[in-house]
Amino acid sequence: MENDELLKSVTEKAQVWLGTGYDEETRAEVQRMLDAEDKTELIESFYRDLEFGTGGLRGIMGAGCNRMNKYTVASATQGLANYLKETFADLDEIKVAVGHDVRNNSRKFAEIVADVFSANGIKVYLFDSFRPTPELSFAVRELGCQSGVNITASHNPKEYNGYKAYWSDGAQIIAPHDTNIIDHVNKITGIESVKMQGDPSKIEIIGKEIDEKFLAAIKGLSLSPETNAKYGDMKIVYTPIHGTGVELIPASLRNYGFTNIINVPEQDIPSGDFPTVESPNPEVPSAMAMAIAKAKEVGAELIMASDPDADRIGCVIRDDKGEYVLINGNQIVMILLNYIMTRSTELGLLKGNEYIVKTIVTTETIKAIAEANNIKMYDCYTGFKWIASVIRELEGKDRYIGGGEESYGFLAEDFARDKDAVSAISLMAEAAAWAKDKGMNFTQMLQDIYVKYGYSREAGISLVRKGKSGAEEIVAIMKQFRTNPPKQLAGSEITEIKDYADLTIKNGVGEVVGKLNFPTTSNVLQFFTADGTKISVRPSGTEPKIKFYVEVKGEMKSAADYDNAIATAEAKIETIKKDLGI
C-alpha cells in the first residue's frame, strides 16, 4: 500500500512537468519515465524536492524535482530573489555575484541564475567563464553584494551538479537564511511563478579585474618571500584535474616566487567529463596517479592538485625512501597551521588575539599545536560555512589566521569565506621551501610535528547508500548507534559520547553529564575512548553516504618510531572498523 501511495504521489508530481511551462526536451524525458515499466527512475526523480544541505543544493542532473535542471535551478533562484527583496527592501539596489565551475551545464545554469535575478530587478555580476569557488566568495565581498550563487558540485561524480548560495559576508548560507529561502521556494506553486526572462541591462560581466585583486590578496598572505625566492626553482607538479584551478593556481604560485611549475597536460583541459580520472577528487589516490607519474619522470619534490572547483587541495610528498606518498586532509591542515603559527612566532607577528578553527571531525592534534603556541582554537560543525560563521562572530575582535577540515579544505584568509585551494597550494609550496631552508623535507617536518605534539592516525570510511531506500537505511544506522552505542572499541572502553542532535554529553554508560555549546543541532555522533580514540559518525549533507571518521592516538618519541607508529595505528583502525561493523 505504501508503495502504491508513493507511486501515485510521484506520478502526480511528474504529470505537472508535462505542462506547457516546461520545454519539449524536459516533457519528453518525463514522459519516458512515466511510460517505463520500471518506475525506479521516476521515483528517484520525483519522490522529493532538492533541499539545501551543508553544501547548498546538489543532485544528479536530469528532469524532475529531485534533479538538477534549469527549472529546479530557476525555482531556487526565484526563492532566493524573493527572500533578498524582502530582507533588503530598504536598499536602492540589491547586488549578487554569480559564478560556475567546468561541469556540464554549469555555464547554462549560471546564465539562468543571472536571468532570474535580473528579471527580478536585481543587479548581477556574472563571471565571464569558470572560476574557483573561493573567488566567487571573494567577489561577493569585494563588490559589496548581498548574496552570491556558484554553480558547482565540487568533487562529485560527473553526473552531478550543484548550487551554492552565499550571503553578504561571502560565506555559504546558514540558518536562518537557508530555511527561509527554502520556505520561499516552497511558496512557488509552479514554474509560471518564476521570472525567467532576463534583463541584460542588469547583468554585468566580470573577470580579469577580480582575478587580479584576488591574486594580489592571496600574495599578501605570504610569510616567507625570501625563502620562496631562494628555492623558487623547486620542482612542483600541479594538476587542476580538468577543473577551474588551471590558470589561477599556477599564477598564484608564480606570484609567490615559484618558477618551476610542471603541469600534467592531459589534465589541464577543462572538462565536465573528467576524462582521465574515475573520480575528480584529489583525496582519491587514483586521481593523483598521472601527477605522480609526471613527478617520477621529472624528479619533483612536491605534487599538488585541486578539485574541479578549486576549493580542495590534494598533496603528495616524498618519504625518506624517496617514494611519493599521498597525505590526508588532517595532515594538510596540520602542516599548514603549524607553518603559519610557527612562522608567525618567528616573525613576531602574534599579538595574543589570534585564533584558528577546525571542524569537530578533524584531528585533535591541531588543538595540541594551538595550545603550545598560545593560540585559541574553536571547533565547529563540518562544512566551511561553519568556519565562516566563527570568523563572522569574531570579526573586529580577534584575528583569524587559518582553519581547515579533514576533507582536504583549508582557508588561510578572511577576505574569502570558503575553503580555498588557490591560497592553500601557494602556502603549501611556501611551507615546503621553509622546511627545506631548515634542512627538512615535508616527511621530516610531519614527523617533527608528531614527535612534538603526539602521533595520530586518521581514517575516513564512507558507506554509500543511494536513493530513497539508501536514505532510509542511513536513518536506521544512526538510530542504531544512538539506541545501542558501542561499549568499547579496540579493547578500550567508551568514556564519553557527544550527540550533536540534542547537544548532550553522556558518559560511557549513557548518563547525561553535560551540554555542548553549539549554535544549532546537527545529526552527528561522537564516541571517545579511554586511550584517546575518537569516532565521529554523520550522514553526508551533499552525497548519499554515511561517514565514519576514525582517529587513533599512538606514541612516537623520535622519527625512528614513525613506521612502527603507522603500522600499529593501522592495525588498530582495522579492529575498530570490525567493532563498528563497517
Active-site residues: which are they? 154
Give residue 163's Cα distance to chain centre: 13
Residue type, 24: E
Q: Is 88 exposed, middle or buried (0-12, 13-18, 19+ CB in 10 A)?
A: middle
Nearest alpha carbon to residue 148 among 128, 127, 121: 127
Cβ-contact 496, 484 below 8 angstroms: no
What is the DSSP-derived secondary structure letter of residue 492? E
Name the 3-class secondary structure at 350.
coil
Those residues with Cβ within 8 angstroms of residue 89's Cβ, 6 or more apart along the chain or in another chain = none
Instruction: Please state, in angstroms and rounded to a whole number, the distance separating the CA atoms of residues 486 and 494.
Output: 7
Q: What does each C-alpha distance from 137 to 96, 164, 183, 329, 345 come to in angstroms? A: 11, 10, 24, 22, 29
Those residues with Cβ within 8 angstroms of residue 8's Cβ, 6 or more apart along the chain or in another chain = none
Q: What does each C-alpha distance from 483 to 12, 371, 477, 499 come to in angstroms? A: 38, 35, 10, 12
Instruction: Please state, in angstroms and rounded to a whole number, the distance separating the CA atoms of residues 510 and 494.
Output: 10
Q: In degrees rounded to 5, what are phi and psi of residue 557?
A: -85, -25
What is the DSSP-derived secondary structure letter of residue 421? H
Instruction: Please state, in angstroms and rounded to a whole number, the distance separating the CA atoms of residues 565 and 581.
Output: 24
Indicate the pairing of strand 147-151 with strand 57-60.
unpaired
Question: 3-class secondary structure for 43-82?
Answer: HHHHCCCCCCECCEEEEEECCCCCCECHHHHHHHHHHHHH
Q: Specify the DSSP element, H or E, that contains 96.
A: strand 95-100
Instruction: Please state, in angstroms and rounded to a whole number, the distance separating the CA atoms of residues 155 and 152.
Output: 9
Indicate the pairing of strand 313-318 with strand 324-326.
antiparallel
What is the side-by-side strand order in the sheet with 354-359?
A: 376-380, 354-359, 399-405, 409-411
Q: What does each C-alpha distance from 171 to 166, 168, 279, 491, 582 come to in angstroms? A: 5, 7, 27, 42, 34
Name the 3-class secondary structure at 580.
helix
What is the DSSP-derived secondary structure letter of residue 260? -
Could you count the other beta carbons within 10 Å of the beta carbon of residue 478? 18
Provide the CB-side half-sphere exposure for 156 (13 A, CA).
26
- All three cell numbers of 94: 540589491
Q: In degrees rounded to 5, what are phi and psi of residue 323?
A: -85, 150
Q: In degrees rounded to 5, what are phi and psi of residue 286?
A: -65, -30
Angle at 555 between CA 531 and CA 344, to 5 degrees: 105
Q: In degrees rounded to 5, what are phi and psi of residue 204?
A: -115, 125
